[in-house]
Structures are given as structure tokens and as C-alpha cells.
């Protein structure tokens, strides 16, 4: 689904007089001085660009004149997508129809000035528009090109349409998620896209380091499948060496026990993990069954899994007899691992989240103060940050095309009227 022109911002002469919105990001972040062209759509590619922009890269989002469909995904207020406000943060936004010769010309002018290009079209589409890596490297040899697709640039499935949902199914994630007697379960959010975005930002940073050390530009072929598969554990090795196919365990773990979610007396859910032996001993002692910690099988995480029903029963009964506050207090007292199952309301009112500014407030052009996730990590010398939220479609067309690339205002307005911008 694409957005309509109602989300676009009319061309305004005052745009040319706006202050440089990216100046503080370029000056402070570890990626200051690098320009990233985000020509991707929806999540994986654009989120990788967001992560780079959070730490100083100057990101220019290039969209089709109808806009990235991510602008209308999910919850909206006053017709504007709230996820876009986060996904589009720290990005200037321009439009260009890349399949049109004039749109392609403007795009190539931007590419000449860039360090990184991110795109996620199906293999062959950029080539069809005469925007192949060879063409791009001819005009900018140092360009790093991140190509994000479902299955990669080559292979039998390269031309298949692929969204994160399909990758979450094919990777084995859905097969391993859910109750043992229930159906395969998909995550309720773009997990495959998010993992690939992290991998993409990581790959781009390595490529920039290589370039800074005297290397050249290069192409990064990133599929959604491979990063997700890497974090799903040792299933390929287990199948290769043991011939076993790991199945679904609900909230339990095949690696240790007890590990589950448990209901408190006052109707709150809490999660318990015992990944280390010492924590497992503390939990079972706390819930009144220290005797099991002396059993020979208790010392082995794998053997504890074989007794998961017994261990779960002890923990569940103890927690069910107490309110959440007491459960948390007692687990903390003995140094055991437990957390409440939070809603977003719980998260945003938690004192730890508040003190660390994990959910921060950014001034938004449409809604004023707006809450969103802060940058992912804290760097002592070169901290990241958020200068502004996702902007309107084509909000920076004049700033970029007229002020920076030197085109006339009349030409840019004419191209907009013609549907090229």
C-alpha cells in the first residue's frame, strides 16, 4: 500500500532559509561526515539507515513521489504514521521517480556525493533502471552499496517476492515458536527485518572502516534469511550431528530449567530464567525445595530440562501464592533472575527506563513532544542522539536539489508537477 499525496508537503520558498537540520549530528556522532542515501522501503533497509543516522551519518531518504509505504503502516494519528516518526528520524526526505530519466539523473547526482547507498529492490530492478553497481561505481568508486533482499542477489529464490514473515517461516523460527501442541507461531512485529537492519548497519560500518584504511567501495549482498538464521541457535549442527529436529517448547527452554512465565496471585505474569547453576539453586531454595539442588541431575542444565515439569510445578505454586511485588522483592533479595511481563504502559512508567531515558522525548513538527525509543547504546566519547523525527514526504526537495545540487527552483517545481518528484 502506498500513501497519497495528502502526506506530501507543498513546496515553499521558506524551505531554502531553514537551518541545516543535520549539523549537530554530523559534528558529534562517530559517523559524522558520512552521507547515506536511503533508497529502500518499509523496514530492513530504512531501519539500517536509521541506526546509522542515530550515530551521526547524514541520511537522505529518497522516496518515490507516492512515498514509502512505511509511512502508513500501523497506528496513525491525524493521518500520519507513528512508526514513521521513529523510522524516519534523523533523515532528510526527498522524492525521485528512479524509473524516469530525469529522476534517475537527480538520483545519480546524489550518489556522486554519497558514501553509502541502501536499496532493497528485487535483484535486477536497479539494473533495469541502469543503476547497477557497476554504473554507480563508475561515477563514485568509493561508494558502499548495501543491497537488502529476502534471499540475496543470487540463488534459486533470488527473484521471489519476500517479506520478513516468509523469512521467519523459512528460517525455522516459526517452527520453534509456540506451544508444543499448537501451530507454528510468527512474531507480531518485523523481527527478520529488525535483525537484518542490525546486520546491515554492522556491515556498512565495517565497509566504511575498510574504506578509511585505504580500501575501495564495495557491494554488500544482505538477505533477510541469513542474519535471522545465525541467531536461532545450533539447529543446523544438531541436525547434522544428531539427526534431531528441534521443536516447539512454549515458554520453556531446551537448554535449562526452570524457565517459563508464571502467574502471580494478583494476576500479573512474571518470567524466570535459570541459565546458570547458581541461579537455579537460589530459585529452588527460595521456593522451598532445596532438596532437589542436591540431586545428581540438577548440576546439568540439560538434565534439569528433563525434569522441567517437576521444577516448573515448584516455582509456579510458590509464585501463585504471592503478589507480584512480593515475588519481585524475594527474587531480588536472593539474587535470582526474574522480570515482570510488561505492557508498553509498564515500560514507560518503569523508574529504570525513565532514569536511563530509554524512551526519550523528541519534538515533532506535527504532534509536539513525542515519545520514542532512544538510540540503542551509549558511547562515552561519541554519543548518538535524535535531532528530529520523521519528516513529511519531500520536505527537503528544495534544500537538497536547489540549495545543495544547484538546480533552479522552477525546474524542481516543474518536475514535481510532472510526477517525477
Q: Where are the alpha helices (DSSP H) in 93-132?
A: 101-112, 125-128
Place of cell 529452588: 284
End-to-end CA distance of the chain: 19
Dig out the grid coordinates for 290 from the structure: 532445596
Nine cell digits for residue 20: 541545516
Has 346 been annotated as catalytic?
A: no
Q: How far apart are CA 325 and CA 307, in angstroms?
A: 28
> Contact 103/421 with Cβ under 8 angstroms?
yes
Which candidate in 38, 68, 100, 193 is catalytic? 193
371 CB-near residues (< 8 Å, 6+ apart): 348, 359, 360, 361
| CA separation for the pair 242, 314 (Å, rounded) | 32
CA distances from 148 to 41, 162, 201, 286, 409 (A): 10, 11, 11, 49, 34
Q: How far is CA 144 from the centre of its chain?
A: 20
How many angstroms separate the CA atoms of 272 and 315, rounded?
9
Q: Which residues are catalytic?
A: 193
Amino acid at each position: 500500500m502506498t500513501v497519497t499525496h495528502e502526506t506530501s508537503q507543498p513546496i515553499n520558498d521558506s524551505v531554502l532559509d531553514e537551518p541545516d537540520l543535520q549539523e549537530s549530528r554530523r559534528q558529534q556522532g562517530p559517523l559524522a561526515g558520512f552521507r547515506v542515501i536511503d533508497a529502500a522501503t518499509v523496514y530492513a533497509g530504512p531501519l539500517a539507515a536509521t541506526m546509522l543516522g542515530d550515530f551521526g551519518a547524514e541520511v537522505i531518504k529518497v522516496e518515490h513521489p507516492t512515498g514509502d509505504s512505511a509511512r502508513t503502516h500501523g497506528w496513525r494519528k491525524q493521518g500520519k504514521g507513528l512508526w514513521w516518526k521513529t523510522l524516519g528520524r534523523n533523515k532528510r526526505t526527498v522524492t525521485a521517480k528512479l524509473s524516469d530519466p530525469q529522476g534517475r539523473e537527480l538520483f545519480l547526482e546524489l550518489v556522486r556525493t554519497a558514501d553509502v547507498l541502501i536499496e532493497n529492490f528485487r535483484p535486477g530492478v536497479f539494473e533495469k533502471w541502469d543503476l547497477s553497481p557497476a554504473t554507480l561505481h563508475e561515477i563514485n568508486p568509493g561508494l558502499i552499496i548495501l543491497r537488502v533482499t529476502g534471499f540475496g542477489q543470487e540463488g534459486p529464490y533470488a527473484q521471489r517476492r519476500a517479506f520478513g514473515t516468509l523469512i521467519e517461516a523459512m528460517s525455522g523460527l516459526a517452527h520453534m515458536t509456540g506451544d508444543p501442541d499448537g501451530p507454528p507461531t510468527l512474531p507480531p512485529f518485523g523481527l527478520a527485518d529488525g535483525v537484518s537492519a542490525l546486520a546491515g548497519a554492522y556491515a556498512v560500518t565495517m565497509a566504511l572502516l575498510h574504506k578509511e584504511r585505504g580500501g575501495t567501495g564495495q557491494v554488500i549482498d544482505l538477505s533477510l534469511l541469513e542474519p535471522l538464521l545465525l541467531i536461532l541457535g545450533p539447529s543446523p549442527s544438531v541436525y547434522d550431528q544428531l539427526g534431531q529436529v528441534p521443536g516447539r517448547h512454549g515458554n520453556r527452554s531446551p537448554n535449562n530449567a526452570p524457565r517459563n512465565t508464571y502467574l502471580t496471585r494478583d494476576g500479573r505474569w512474571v518470567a524466570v530464567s535459570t541459565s546458570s547453576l547458581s541461579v537455579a539453586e537460589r530459585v529452588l531454595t527460595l521456593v522451598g525445595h532445596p532438596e532437589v539442588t542436591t540431586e545428581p541431575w540438577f548440576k546439568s542444565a540439560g538434565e534439569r530440562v528433563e525434569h522441567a515439569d517437576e521444577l516448573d510445578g515448584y516455582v509456579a505454586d510458590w509464585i501463585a501464592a504471592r503478589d507480584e511485588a512480593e515475588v519481585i522483592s524475594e527474587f531480588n533479595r536472593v539474587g535470582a533472575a526474574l522480570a515482570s511481563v510488561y505492557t508498553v504502559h509498564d515500560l514507560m512508567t518503569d523508574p529504570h527506563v525513565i532514569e536511563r531515558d530509554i524512551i526519550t522525548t523528541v519534538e515533532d513538527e506535527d504532534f509536539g513532544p513525542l515519545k520514542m525509543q532512544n538510540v540503542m547504546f551509549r558511547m562515552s566519547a561519541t554519543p548518538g542522539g535524535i535531532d528530529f523525527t520523521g519528516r513529511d514526504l519531500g520536505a527537503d526537495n528544495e534544500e537538497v536539489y536547489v540549495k545543495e545540487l544547484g538546480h533552479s527552483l522552477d525546474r524542481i517545481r516543474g518536475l514535481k508537477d510532472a510526477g517525477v518528484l
